[in-house]
Every structure is written in structure tokens, then in C-alpha cells.
């Protein structure tokens, strides 16, 4: 039934592209009110949270969205077990699942997709989606392609691959499903391994579609520019981090006939928006998310996730609306997204070559009992990994597992010559000048 559900969503979402702006806003409002009422009635956290803020059930039909209190990652972490109608979902069970099931295609209780991320905050968060909600995400993801067809193609991915990360989870989700038929072949490249080690196989594979983190794809473009790589993808989809203008231009200079796509997503909502060349800008999926764009932050309501409702959630992303009102789609048009950039630590590896550890590999770091962390580079041969530890877990075991995970990262990158210390701290405070938390300090 999963494939049929995806097809149903696909045609339903396709109709929305032809709606008027007024009709899209009405649809968004309708979906928001439905979700809000469900959260109040079925999700213990929201009933308590709204009641304590003087909000009654009778007010939900008309209360302006901006009068509802906002939530953030810290609130979700502190009240995790109360965010679900299904009371078998607990933080401890999710952490045990992630620890014992690193394969991104595995499901919690055989029915929930689990995504984990620290994002740019350093605080570890967990986000769950039902299979039906996952089907919705797959359907709306077809908007990334200007000429989506059912033709079988070869797909390649470069990014973090050894855990329940958003991008690889979506990339592999067709496997063992009817839609796997449309994967003529697929290739996965771990960004935490030397990229050079994949070039021969990638030349042999010749992907039609290349997906991954912009920094990784830019590295491939550099090898293409040097004549070491020789591939000609029809489409390149970038996601997971900002696609900077100079990087996009470099990709276009290298692959002139390739369509460059920028997909906007977060762990809290894997479907947020897209920028395509034919769209001449980025559009937010107003039929899937309700974004309140403010000067210093963005507030997200995920309109399709009823497993773990996210209502008025504070994102650190800063969006700037486009002044162009004559858009191709009836959605909110965006000029740019800021506030997501992370520094990239470079080290000298075992071969004396300069190489990097991708920020998302650090952001997606997971060890049960580690509540918060920060990567501090000292020089090109050493770093300190600061951790805030849950008091419920044995410290020695946590530190040992953290060291093992970091050693695994370094081994894959041929950086076992790089030294590091694991430092337990009481808290990790924001930068004194900016007031913002830094996941990576260099």
C-alpha cells in the first residue's frame, strides 16, 4: 500500500501547484487548524502546555497563530515522551533503537522512521515519522525535478551514510519497495571517507542523478574540472547545507548541461521547499509547512506529521522573502536562507594531504547519554570534543563509546594520526559576541 499512497499524494500535491495564492493560504490554514486541534486533544504535551498558557479548546478555531506560544528543541528534549499519541514511544526506546539499528532503512517498532540530528544547536534531537507521512515526503520530493518521469535511472548519493540521517534515509527509502524498480542502479558514497576512493567506481557507474551535500558535490566537481572524474548527470540535487552562490556557479561551470537543484529541509520537516533553475528562486511548500518568517528566526509548523506534531517550533534559519510577486508557483518565494553555515575543519591526514571532516558528520554524531556536544579544533592535527552527559548513564561507558565513534570517523578518513581529547563539561554556552551556539569552533 505504501507505493499507492505515495502515488495518491503525488497527484493531490500536483493539483496544488495550479491553485491560486488565496486558495493555497486557505488550504494551509485548514491543515493548521486540523493539526492544532489534534495536538491539543491527543498529544499530552500540548494539552498541558496550552492550558498553562490560558488557551482553551474552544479557542483553537480562531486564535491567531502568533498568539500560540512557541516551542524549541530543548522543550521537545525535556518533554519527549509526551509528544506522542503512541505511548510506547519513549526517549529511552528511541535511543536504544538508534544504538542497535544503525541501518537508515530500519524502523522503530517496524513502523516509524527515526531521524536524529543536533543541527546547528549541538543538542541531540529525535524526530519520528509514520510510514504514511514518509510516503507524503517521498511524493512531495518529486517537486525537486522540473521534468519528473517514471523512467528508470541511476542514482548516486554523497553524504553521511552510517546512521539515521535525513538525506540517506530518504535516498534509500525506495529499497525493498515497489518504487525500487525505478532505481536502475544506485551508488552510495560516504562523505567521511576520502572522496578520491570513489572516483573510479563513479566513472564506471555514470549516474543520471547526483544527490548530496553541496561541499561533497563541489569536491566531485573539482575532480571533474581536473579531468580525473568524467560523469554527466542530468540533475544534481543539493541539500543538507546551504548551496552558496559561488558553489552553485562552479557546479554550473563544470556541468553546463546539468540542472542544479537546491532542496530545503530540516530534521523537523524533511519537506520544506526547493529552488530549481526554471523556478528562478526558492519556493516554500506552503501546503506542507507553515513558516512564520521573522527578522531573526523562522517559526515552523509541520502540517503533515501527526506522529510527533511540531507546532510553532523555533528554527535558527533566517529566511528573506523575495520581492518578486509574479512567481511560477502559488507559494511563498524566498531570496535566501542564512544562519545554517558551519565552519569546516581541515586536518593533515596520514598521507600528508589536507582533508576535511564534514560538519554534518559532526552534527549527526550520536551516542546514547550524550545530550549536547561541541567540536573544537586546536590545529591541523588535533581537536577537543566537549560533551554534556546525561546523569542517568555511566560516564566511563559513554566516554569510551564517544572515543570509539570518533576513532571510527578518523579511521574512515585516514586521519588516525589526528589526536583528540574527550572533555566532559557541565554545559556548552553560546558565543559571547553573537549569542549563538557554535557546533564547530576553529
> What is the tens place of the pLDDT at every residue in 348-375?
999 999 999 988 788 778 898 888 889 9
Is residue 8 predicted with pLDDT exceeding 60? yes
Average pLDDT over residues 96-101: 94
CATH (domain of 385) = 3.30.300
pLDDT at 337: 79
Largest CA distance in the chain: 67
Contact between 311 and 71 (Cβ < 8 Å): yes
Is residue 435 predicted with pLDDT exceeding 70? no
340, 358, 383 - which closes a domain: 340
Is residue 46 domain-shared with residue 192, that is, in the same domain?
yes
pLDDT at 244: 81
Please give the Cα distance from 88 to 85 (Å, whole number): 9
Count the Cβ atoms, other than its own, within 10 Å of residue 131: 17
Average pLDDT over residues 11-16: 95
Q: What is the pTM of this model?
A: 0.84
Q: Which cell numbers in the block locate residue 73?
A: 528543541
Average pLDDT over residues 391-411: 90
Is residue 123 predicted with pLDDT exceeding 90? no
Q: Which of 109-123, 131-145, 304-318, 403-417 has the lowest mean pLDDT?
A: 109-123
Is residue 293 domain-shared with residue 372, that is, in the same domain?
no
- Residue 159 belongs to what domain range? 1-340
Band (339; pLDDT cuts 50, 70, 90): low
Total number of domains in the chain: 2
Chain segment 165-192, per-residue pLDDT in tens: 889 999 998 877 777 777 899 999 999 8
pLDDT at 202: 98
Is residue 67 domain-shared with residue 105, that is, in the same domain?
yes
Is residue 90 domain-shared with residue 230, that is, in the same domain?
yes
Q: How far is CA 77 from CA 112, 201, 241, 356, 397, in A?
A: 18, 41, 23, 31, 22
CATH (domain of 5) = 3.40.50.12780
Is residue 286 domain-shared with residue 382, that is, in the same domain?
no
Is residue 182 domain-shared with residue 135, that is, in the same domain?
yes
Average pLDDT over residues 275-281: 92
294, 313, 340 - which closes a domain: 340
Is residue 391 predicted with pLDDT exceeding 80? no
Is residue 119 predicted with pLDDT exceeding 70? no
Is residue 336 domain-shared with residue 350, that is, in the same domain?
no
Average pLDDT over residues 268-281: 93
pLDDT at 118: 65
Is residue 259 domain-shared with residue 277, that is, in the same domain?
yes
Q: Report the alpha-carbon angle 107-109-113, nearest 5.
A: 30
Average pLDDT over residues 375-389: 95
340, 370, 403 - which closes a domain: 340
Amino acid at each position: 500500500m505504501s507505493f499507492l499512497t505515495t502515488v495518491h499524494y503525488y497527484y493531490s500535491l500536483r493539483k496544488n501547484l495550479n491553485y491560486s495564492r488565496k486558495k493555497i493560504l486557505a488550504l494551509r490554514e485548514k491543515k493548521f487548524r486540523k493539526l492544532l486541534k489534534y495536538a491539543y486533544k491527543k498529544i499530552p504535551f500540548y494539552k498541558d502546555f496550552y492550558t498553562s498558557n490560558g488557551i482553551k479548546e474552544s479557542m483553537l478555531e480562531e486564535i491567531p497563530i502568533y498568539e500560540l506560544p512557541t516551542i524549541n528543541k530543548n522543550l521537545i528534549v525535556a518533554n519527549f515522551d509526551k509528544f506522542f499519541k503512541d505511548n510506547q514511544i519513549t526517549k529511552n526506546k528511541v535511543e536504544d533503537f538508534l544504538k542497535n539499528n544503525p541501518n537508515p532503512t530500519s524502523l522503530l517498532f517496524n513502523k516509524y522512521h527515526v531521524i536524529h540530528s543536533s543541527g546547528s544547536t549541538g543538542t541531540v534531537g529525535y524526530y519520528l515519522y509514520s510510514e504514511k507521512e514518509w510516503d507524503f515526503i517521498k511524493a512531495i520530493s518529486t517537486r525537486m525535478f522540473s521534468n519528473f518521469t517514471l523512467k528508470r535511472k541511476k542514482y548516486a548519493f554523497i553524504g553521511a551514510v552510517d546512521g539515521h540521517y535525513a538525506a540517506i534515509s530518504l535516498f534509500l527509502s525506495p529499497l525493498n519497495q515497489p518504487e525500487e524498480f525505478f532505481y536502475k542502479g544506485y551508488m552510495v558514497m560516504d562523505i567521511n571517507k576520502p572522496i578520491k576512493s570513489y572516483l573510479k567506481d563513479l566513472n564506471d557507474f555514470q549516474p543520471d542523478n547526483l544527490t548530496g551535500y553541496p561541499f561533497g558535490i563541489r569536491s566531485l566537481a573539482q575532480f571533474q574540472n581536473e579531468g580525473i572524474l568524467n560523469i554527466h548527470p542530468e540533475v544534481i540535487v543539493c541539500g543538507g547545507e546551504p548551496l552558496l552562490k559561488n558553489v552553485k556557479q562552479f557546479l554550473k561551470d563544470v556541468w553546463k548541461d546539468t540542472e542544479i537543484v537546491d532542496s530545503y529541509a530540516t530534521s523537523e520537516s524533511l519537506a520544506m521547499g526547493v529552488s530549481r533553475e526554471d523556478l528562478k528562486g526558492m519556493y516554500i511548500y506552503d501546503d506542507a509547512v507553515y513558516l512564520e518568517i521573522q527578522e531573526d528566526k523562522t517559526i515552523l509548523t509541520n502540517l503533515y506529521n501527526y506522529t510527533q506534531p511540531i507546532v510553532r517550533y523555533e528554527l535558527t534559519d533566517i529566511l528573506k522573502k523575495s520581492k518578486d510577486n509574479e512567481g511560477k508557483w502559488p507559494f511563498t518565494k524566498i531570496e535566501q536562507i542564512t544562519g545554517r553555515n558551519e565552519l569546516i575543519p581541515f586536518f593533515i591526514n596520514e598521507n600528508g594531504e589536507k582533508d576535511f571532516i564534514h560538519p554534518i558528520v559532526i552534527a549527526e554524531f550520536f551516542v546514547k547519554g550524550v545530550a549536547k556536544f561541541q567540536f573544537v579544533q586546536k590545529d591541523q592535527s588535533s581537536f577537543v570534543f566537549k560533551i554534556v552527559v546525561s546523569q542517568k548513564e555511566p560516564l566511563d561507558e559513554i566516554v569510551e563509546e564517544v572515543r570509539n565513534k570518533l576513532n571510527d570517523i578518523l579511521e574512515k578518513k585516514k586521519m588516525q594520526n589526528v589526536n583528540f581529547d574527550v572533555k566532559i563539561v557541565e554545559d556548552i554556552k553560546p558565543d559571547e559576541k553573537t549569542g549563538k551556539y557554535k557546533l564547530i569552533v576553529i
